[in-house]
Homo-oligomer: A and B are copies of this chain.
Amino acid sequence: MRLRDLGERELIRAIRKDFAKPGKGLILGIGDDAAVIEGGKRRLILTTDVLIEGSHFLRALQPAFWLGRKSLNVNLSDIAAMGGTPRYVLLGLGLPQTVDTRWVSDFFSGFKSAATESGALLIGGDLSQAAEVFISVTAIGEGRAIIRRNGGRPGDLIFASGFLGDAAGGLRLLRRGFRLGRDKKADHLLKAFLDPVPQVRLGRRLASRGLASSMIDSSDGLSVDLLHLCEESGLGAELELDRLPISPQLRNFEKDPSALALHGGEDYQLVFTVAPGKYQAALALRRHFMITPIGRMTKARRLCIIDRRGKKKPLPIKGYEHFIKQRKESGKG
Which A positions have Cβ atoms within 8 angstroms of B? 1-6, 8, 11-12, 14-15, 18-19, 21, 23, 25-26, 28-30, 34-35, 37-41, 44, 46-52, 54-56, 87-88, 90-102, 104-105, 108, 112, 115, 121-132, 134, 136, 138, 140
Contacts and interface: CB of A to CB of B under 8 A. Distances in A.
A314 to B, nearest CB: 28
Contact of A95 (B3, B12, B51): B3
Contacts of A91: 48
Contacts of A104: 3, 11
Given A55-B129, A127-B11, A1 B46 contact: no
Contact of A50 (B8, B34, B92, B121): B92
A257 B114 CA distance: 48
Q: How many copies of this protein are present in the complex?
A: 2
A112 B16 CA distance: 12
A90 B35 contact: yes
B128 A52 contact: yes
Given A19-B112, A129-B55, A136-B92, A44 B46 contact: no
Given A39-B39, A50-B127, 8 more contacts: A2-B97, A3-B96, A14-B105, A18-B108, A23-B88, A29-B124, A30-B123, A94-B134
A135 B29 CA distance: 20
A18 B112 contact: yes
Given A55-B130, A130-B55, A123 B40 contact: no
A39 to B, nearest CB: 4
A110 to B, nearest CB: 12
